[in-house]
Amino acid sequence: MATPNDFFTPDEEQAIVNAIREAEKNTSGEIRVHIGNNSKKPPLERDQEVFHVLGMDATSARNGVLFYVGVKDHTFAIIGDEGIDKAVEADFWDCTRDVVISHFKEGRFAEGLTAGILRAGDRLKAYFPYTEDDKDELPNEISKS
Ligand code: CA
Ligand code: CA
């Protein structure tokens, strides 16, 4: 059984981090991936908690986007902070989620996340374009718990 620490190979992890860097070259938005284990809390509550713990709700433009993979309970969620959530069309997260899940179903987890991250980055660009003085407000590395 995979754990958050061995869910991705080092190469896959690097590919995901590269996708985040690539996406953040287009936008001031901050994208993160979290690989979590089971928790006694319901997924939605747990995902929101991780969102907060990771500081995703503390970006200056409220444009953080979290990709949450629950390893043990096979859950996947995308959570956008209120700045971006207000800006995108209502079905944006569902559509992005569908793209990711279609890869997951074939066992292509890293590819799925990469595709989702680039899609989110592309959309973020329209509302939160990259500016010269952009700060990398949140680390691009995958977080695990
Ligand atoms: Ca930034
Ligand atoms: Ca970042």
Domains contained in the chain, CATH given: 10-144 (3.10.310.50)
Angle subtended by helix axes 10-24 and 109-127, to nearest 10: 10
| 129 C-alpha to ligand 2 centroid (Å) | 14
Span from the CA of 39 to the centroid of ligand 2 (angstroms): 26
The predicted pLDDT at position 38 comes to: 73
Long-range contacts of the stretch 76-82 (C-beta < 8 A, 24+): 76/100, 76/101, 76/104, 77/43, 77/44, 77/47, 78/116, 78/120, 79/47, 79/48, 79/51, 80/120, 81/51, 81/56, 81/57, 82/57
Indicate which ligand has the atom closest to the C-alpha of 135: 1
Q: For 18-75, what is each residue's pLDDT tens digit?
A: 999 999 999 999 999 999 987 788 888 999 999 999 999 999 999 999 999 999 888 9
For the segment 102-137, what is each residue's pLDDT rounded down to a tens digit? 999 999 999 999 999 999 999 999 999 999 999 999
Which ligand ends up closest to the CA of 128?
Answer: 1
